[in-house]
Amino acid sequence: MATTDLSYYDKATIPNAKKFRFGIVVSEWNPEITHNLYLGAKKAFIENGAIAENITKWDVPGSFELIYGCKKMIESQKVDAIIAIGNVIQGETKHFDFVCEGVTQGIKDLNVIYDTPVIFCVLTDNNKQQSLDRSGGIHGNKGVECAIAAIKMAALREF
């Protein structure tokens, strides 16, 4: 269980995001979770200077499709960082393990192959309540945390 507020950050330590372009690729699976993560990310971008028109959102069917969606966004859009937003909840089969492993490795591969950072914002929880708690509930919003990471990584690209 998360013991910190995922939405907390020290705004004084965050670069201004005004000059950056961001991509957000969002899984349509578990939309009540992924939409809240998206809203948290977008709000954090705007609060830190990003221009709304410089935030591109694409939807994909599920978390496994995030990899291809992010790849296509890197190749076709001029973005400084991307957030991959998804949610996988443990079920009764090994499907959870396969999806989580594939998405994790796929996003890692994108970060190795391309010069555009892809931020992992895929909640992999044991139950829906844990996902709700981390998408704007009692533990804050992981989307906010990932937007802050995206801003920092976009700034790092400039070195």
Active site residues: 95
Report the alpha-carbon distance of residue 145 to residue 14 in Å, rounded: 12
Q: Which two tokens stand for residue 42?
A: 């977008």
Helical spans, DSSP H, in the chain: 31-47, 66-76, 95-113, 128-133, 142-156
Q: b/e per residue, 47-62, with b = 16+ CB within 10 A?
A: ebebeeebbbeebbeb
